[in-house]
Amino acid sequence: QLQLVESGGGVVQPGRSLRLSCVASGFTFSSYGMHWVRQAPGKGLEWVASISYDGYNKYYAASAKGRFVISRDYSKNTVFVQMNSLRPEDTAVYYCARDFRYNVSPRGGMDVWGQGTPVTVSS
């Protein structure tokens, strides 16, 4: 069945880096754009970054631009987000999600979600 499994979360000090992974299964990974969305404790959803199905187009929220890098490995059916210079305000559960449409650049809509991986940035 369609599945996304995130990993890589944990506790990290401010200024350090962390790389999150999301392994996809049950669908043709190379045909779908992928997204990272986060949710701070008790807060709403916040889009972080997206990557197109072919990896050519990448989009970032203002809060992530310049610090986070989204990428994908087709051989491993995995999407990553490398998070650098982490701040306490990056503390959140990070969800990986599949774009609703296939073979197009992301334009909104996520139909498959992972269970999330928690990231805590604290000294």
Partner 1 sequence: QSVLTQPPSASGTPGQRVTISCSGSSSNIGSTYVYWYQQLPGTAPKLLIYDNDQRPSGVPDRFSASKSGTSASLAISGLRSEDEADYYCEAWDDSLFVMLFGGGTKLTVL
Among 12, 35, 52, 121, binds partner 1 (CB under 8 A): 35
109 binds partner 1 (CB under 8 A): yes
> Which residues, other chains included, contact 102 with Cβ-Cβ below 8 Å and sequence gap of 6+?
28, 31, 32, 53
How far is Cα 106 from Cα 95, in angstroms, rounded to an integer? 16
Q: CA angle, corner 27, sides to 25 and 30, nearest 5? A: 100
116 binds partner 1 (CB under 8 A): yes
Q: How far is the CB of 80 from partner 1 (least distance, A)?
A: 18
Binding string, residues 45-74; x marks residues near partner 1 by CB under 8 A: xxx--x--------xxxx------------
